[in-house]
Structure 1
Amino acid sequence: MTVRPLIGSDARAWRDARRRNGAWLTPWDATAPPGADARPSTFRSLVRRLHRQARAGTTYPFAIDVDGRFAGQLTVNNIVRGSAQFASVGYWLDQRYAGRGVMPRAVALVIDHCFTVARLHRIEVAIRPENSNSLRVVEKLGIREVGFAPLFLHIDGAWRDHRIYAVTVEECPEGMLRRLDSHESHE
C-alpha cells in the first residue's frame, strides 16, 4: 500500500472506483448545500481545484494505491497555520479493499507526513456516528474523541451530525505508523 499525490492521470481509475462503489460511498459523500457553489463536476476540475488549494497550502490531496492499483483518496484539508497549525482529514476507499487495514495505514502515513514534513500540530477527523468503518479507523489508530458537532457537514444531501476525533504531535512522538504497528502487534 502506498500513498502519493493525486494526479490527473488517476482520472479513469478514480471514476471507475467511484462508479463501482456509488451505493457504498453515497451515504458518506460530502455534498454542496443549497445555495453553495457546486462541487467540481469532473475529475479534471476536482484535481485542478485541489492542486490550486495545495499550492496555497490549504489542502494536500493523496491517492491510495494497493498493489499498484488505485484504491481510494485521502485529503488533508482546512489547513490552518498561525497559532493553530491544524488540519482535517477526509477519505474514501474502494469497497474491495475494505477490511484489510488499508485505510488505517494510509491515515497513519498521512498524519506522520503532516506532523513531520508539514509541521502541523493537530489533525482532526470528523465521522458520522453511524459510519462504523470510519469509526474503526480512528479506533485502530488510537485517536481520541474530542467532541460532537451537530449538523456539522453537508453529507448525502443533508446537514449531518459528526463525532470529532483529534490527535496532536505530542500524543504520538514515535509517529502514528509506529503507533498503529504497535497496536496491531498486540491484537
Structure 2
Amino acid sequence: MPDDLGRYLTAGPRVGLRPFSPDDAEEFTARARESGELHRPWLFPPSTPEAYAAYAGALIEDPARAGFLVCEHAEGVAGGRIAGFVNINNIVRGAFRSGALGYGAFAHAAGRGLFTEALGLLLAYAFGPLELHRLEANIQPGNTASRALVQRAGFRLEGFSPAMLFIDGAWRDHERWAVTGPS
C-alpha cells in the first residue's frame, strides 16, 4: 500500500479500509439515509448522529469488535467518499480465533465491485494482523447480492438456521457462510 493513503489500514486499487471516527458521523448518516431502500429489510445502519456515535463508539472501544469504513480513493489519494462499512463482530480469541462478519454498501457504491475488493482486503487483514482463523457471515436467504458477494470471496455454505436473528420486527431465517484463513 502506498504511504500516501493516509489513515487506511489497507488499500487496493479503488478502495481502502480505515477505522470508524467520530468525525465521519455526518457523511455516514447521510449515506445511510440515502440507502434506506437498498438496505431494507436486511440492514439498519445508524442514520442519526446520536445513533452513529453509539455504533462507532462500540466498534472503537469493544475488543470483541473491529469496524472499518470502506472508502473510495482515486490516484493514490486517501479521503474519498465513504462507500460503506465492514465489521467483524463477536471476535473470539484463543483456540477459536473467529468472528462474525457484517457489512453494508451505500447506494452510490452498490453494484460497482467495490465491496468485492473491500471484502478481499478485509479477509487479508483479518487473517493477517488480526490473527483470526475463521469468519462467518449470516445471510437471509433472499439477500441474493450478499450471498453472491461472499461466494466471490470464497465463503462456503455451512448450514441453515431458522428464526436465527430478530430483524425488522421478526425472527429471520439465515444461511451460515464461512471462510477460513491459511493454516
Q: Normalised by the size of structure 1, how large is the TM-score?
A: 0.80
Q: Spell out structure 1 runs of 4+ moving beyond 4 A.
A: none
- Distance in 2 (CA, whole Å) between partners of 1:142 and 1:167 is 7
- Distance in 1 (CA, whole Å) between partners of 2:59 and 2:97 is 20
Q: Residue 140 of structure 1 aligns with which residue?
A: 152
Q: Residue 89 of structure 1 aligns with which residue?
A: 101
- Distance in 1 (CA, whole Å) between partners of 2:139 and 2:27 is 26
| 1:3-22 pair list within 5 angstroms | 3-22=17-36
Extract unaligned runs of 5+ from structure 2.
Answer: 1-14, 74-79
1:22 CA displacement: 1.2
- Distance in 1 (CA, whole Å) between partners of 2:134 and 2:55 is 26
Count of paired positions: 160
- Distance in 2 (CA, whole Å) between partners of 1:104 and 1:144 is 16
1:41 CA displacement: 4.9
1:142 CA displacement: 2.2
| 1:20-39 pair list within 5 angstroms | 20-29=34-43
- Distance in 2 (CA, whole Å) between partners of 1:145 and 1:159 is 21
- Distance in 2 (CA, whole Å) between partners of 1:137 and 1:17 is 21
1:20 CA displacement: 0.6
Identical aligned residues as a percent: 35
1:138 CA displacement: 1.2
Match of 2:179 among 164, 167, 172: 167
CA RMSD of aligned residues (A): 1.7
Counterpart secondary structure, 2:40: helix
- Distance in 2 (CA, whole Å) between partners of 1:50 and 1:23 is 25
Query: What are the Cα deviations for residues 21-64 of structure 1, in whole angstroms up to 9, with x where unaligned?
Result: 11221211269xxxxxxxx95211222222121xxx20001001
- Residue 117 of structure 1 pairs with residue 124 of structure 2: no
- Residue 72 of structure 1 pairs with residue 81 of structure 2: no
Evaluate the alpha carbon distance shift between residue 154 and residue 84 of structure 1 in structure 2; reply closer, same or farther with a 3 A threshold.
same
Matching residue's letter, 1:94 = F
- Distance in 1 (CA, whole Å) between partners of 2:140 and 2:88 is 18
- Residue 2 of structure 1 pairs with residue 16 of structure 2: yes
Q: Normalised by the size of structure 2, how large is the TM-score?
A: 0.82
Q: Residue 37 of structure 1 aligns with which residue?
A: none
Matching residue's letter, 1:2 = G
Match of 1:46 among 24, 45, 55: 55
Higher helix share: 1
Q: Residue 30 of structure 1 contacts residue 153 of structure 1 at CA under 8 Å; is this kept in 2?
A: no
Q: Residue 142 of structure 2 aligns with which residue?
A: 130
Matching residue's letter, 1:14 = F
1:104 CA displacement: 1.6
1:78 CA displacement: 0.5
